[in-house]
Amino acid sequence: MEKAIAHIKSDNGETAFHLLEDHLIGTSRLVDQFCLNNDWRPWIKTGALLHDLGKYSNAFQEYIRQSHEWEEGEIENRPGRVEHAIIGALHLWQKNPENTLSKLLPYLVAGHHTGLTDWNYTESGQKKLDFKLEQATQKGLLDWIKDKNIPKEVIEAPVPQKLPQNIKTENCHIWLRMLFSCLVDADYLDTESFMQPTNSIHRSNYPTLNDLKKLFDSFMDTKFSNAPETTVNRIRTDVLLDCRAAAKLQPGLFSLTVPTGGGKTLSGTAFALDHALNFGKKRLIYVIPYTSIIEQTAAIFRSIFGEENVIEHHSNTDIDAETPKSRLAAENWDAPIIVTTNVQFFESLFASRTSRCRKLHNIMDSVVILDEAQMLPPDLLDPILNIIRGLSTLCGVSFVLSTATQPALNKSDILPSGLEGVREIIRDTTTIYKNLNRVQIILPIKEQMPESCESLAEKLCKHEQVLCIVSTRRFAWDLHKTMPSGTLHLSALMCGHHRSEVIAEIKNRLTAKKPVRVISTQVIEAGVDIDFPVVYRALAGLDSIAQAAGRCNREGRMDTGIVHVFLPPKQAPLGLLRKGEDKTREMLACGIQDFLSPDTFHKYFQLFYSGLNSLDKHNIKDLLWKRSDVGLGIFQFRTAATLFQMIEDGASYTVYVQYGDSQKLINSLRFGGPSREVMRKLQRFAVQVPPRLASGLLVLGFLEQLEHGFLITRIPEIYTQETGLQIFGKEYGTEELII
């Protein structure tokens, strides 16, 4: 009798088989490594052993053995595809159908290719797990099991009869996601070891955190020993010492409140590495609010720890149309240092697709730094805080809320879902803020008129070195056109590689004391280490103004830098930007004594949160925990994933642009399809655009859509050296596409 096979491939003209028994046991061994909680391990080991049970069927074996002429052994879109996941789910359920928990594990197994579906479908019951299990039973889909020579270890894998300790209604969805992540990552990795053994060898070959700490300490010793004796550098030393001391505290929730320019990034990293080694954490995950400001932090980490030890993972490299090849290319965050975005981090934690879920188990037992924590979207704050609490208490994650403008996230009357037990790392934040106050903020007077592009340009041209930050890409584009030739531009319409080049040019001109005028959106307000003598900032939320002030006299080389706050021609668009601007106006009307103090920020955020209609605008809690019964397993994962969007317009499309040497990578994507290496490199050449704009540019012929749904620029003229992707120029006919 031929042994059952799980996968098949053509290798140098010969057909190679991946035995099903080997795949099931191999997947089980991997989940055993991934799942660090002893109480959880029996659940997911059984799921791993039975996830592909359906492949033992005659129908599947005939199907897979006929696939040897296909590019990949298990081509999911091939005609005659045999559904196999429901077989393992059915076998698990029938082991103890009376137990109220009996459908939790079958639910995960049934979705190990299709993802986490909604438990209850409103429009049709035919996709519900209950319906599928009943239908499979009626069809006798397990009748053949007894005639198969299936290893006892597989067929008799035990199903746990009670929930692990500490699993409650509000965190059960997190537990299930972590189990699911262990399963799908183990499944993909064991499959990859057969299908793409060369790629498999390159995974998980990383140095220890202890080795990386030695590199970091050496870097810091050199940096501080060569730093001049200034007030700013003395404060940075104090911040570093506080971070190293706090790293000995028990794992949990921390805040790191340091003014801009106070050394948060490196000192926070020192805390994370020391804390990880003190308490056996696996990795450091550094989460940044915008894709557009991730480059500098990732570059710093790569220079310290080495290119191969840092994964830079944006939101814009995920693949919407999943295929077997794209799943294997997906990131699983197995490196010791991860630099990612709020969008990638939190949307993955609410995701339903397998390629986004596979990395989640690697968040367990890590140290997560939420850089610029004030940028967490307020209208999603309830579900975000639920995840932070759950990961901390259930999954051993230590969180650091790092910011110069600490939001009021502690539990209060205004924020009843707020965090408890958050410990501040800095011993004396008030003194540090007082000593690092090195700018004068000039606020608009009551009767002051809004600035036009022309009047603002006239003021900016009076300064040899000046930075102007505005709140919209359109205003930045219009103002840049009004400025003299040689003025630099920064916005999210420029790819990361392009922005990095512009920032390097800005720094070179500042260092050489050459003229440099910059028009930028808020992409420059966080994570970009630059130092201008004069900064102009369009009126915005108080936190944004403070961030802009952090780009002025950053190193304290002048007695006082000047920050001008001006009224823009138009108010910010309706939504959170407008609310932030309005709350700043309210505080200005009441008078602000100390603009950059922690107390002022606390009052601002309390005022801001109190004015919101909801901290959970899509009622995510109703979908995942408020109305869910752990035993019944009523979880609407797919609906929650669709609704939980960190970007206000609900979605964005990624366009890979022709810039620098990106054409070689685009050709690799075009002719070879996605691979982890190519997708990592292409991140540097990506621009995010709204769906409606992407569709319009496609129709106009400015973009091309490749296989797997990837968008690329079709003509060089659509992307320029000056301002990036040209979506406002009338000559391109895209003006009317902008909302």
Query: For residue 212, what pLDDT is reported?
Result: 97
- Ordered by start, the domain boundaries in the chain are 5-205, 209-434, 438-595, 649-737
Query: For residue 71, what pLDDT is reported?
Result: 46
Query: For residue 493, what pLDDT is reported?
Result: 93
Residue written as token pair 């699983």: 332
Report whether 294 contacts 266 (CB < 8 A). Answer: no
Give the C-alpha separation, 534 to 716, whole Å.
35
Query: For residue 143, what pLDDT is reported?
Result: 81
Reduced to 3 states (helix: H, G, I; strand: E, B; else coil), residue 78 is coil
What number of residues does the chain have? 739
Report whether 637 contacts 631 (CB < 8 A). Answer: no
Instruction: Region of 164 please: left (phi>0), alpha (psi -120 to 50) or beta.
Output: beta
The mean-pLDDT minimum among 35-49, 190-204, 359-373 falls in 190-204
Give the C-alpha separation, 385 to 391, whole Å.
10
Q: What is the CATH number of domain 209-434?
A: 3.40.50.300
* % of residues, the chain, pLDDT over 70: 90
Asked, colleague to colleague, whether 209-434 and 438-595 share their fold, the answer is: yes
Query: For residue 322, what pLDDT is reported?
Result: 47
Instruction: Region of 524 please: left (phi>0), alpha (psi -120 to 50) or beta.
Output: alpha
**Average pLDDT in the 112-122 region?**
82
Of residues 334 and 205, the one with the higher pLDDT is 334
Q: Which of 529, 530, 558 is nearest to 439 (CA)?
A: 558
**Average pLDDT in the 705-730 region?**
90
**Average pLDDT in the 372-390 region?**
93
- The token pair that represents 264 in the structure block: 């948060």
Average pLDDT of the residues of the chain: 87
pLDDT in tens, 556-604: 888 899 999 999 998 887 777 888 889 998 888 887 777 788 888 888 8
Domain 5-205 annotated CATH 2.60.120? no
Query: For residue 739, what pLDDT is reported?
Result: 41
- The token pair that represents 417 in the structure block: 């879902």
Query: For residue 709, what pLDDT is reported?
Result: 85
Query: For residue 290, what pLDDT is reported?
Result: 75
Reduced to 3 states (helix: H, G, I; strand: E, B; else coil), residue 353 is coil
Reduced to 3 states (helix: H, G, I; strand: E, B; else coil), residue 680 is helix
CA atoms within 13 A on the CB side of 596: 24
Q: Is the pLDDT of residue 231 over 50?
A: yes
pLDDT in tens, 77-110: 455 567 788 899 999 988 888 777 888 999 999 9
Of residues 128 and 454, the one with the higher pLDDT is 454
Give the C-alpha separation, 739 to 737, whole Å.
6
Q: Is the pLDDT of residue 320 over 70?
A: no
Q: Which of 513, 466, 520 is nearest to 493 (CA)?
A: 520
Report whether 56 contacts 3 (CB < 8 A). Answer: no
CATH topology of domain 438-595: Rossmann fold (3.40.50)
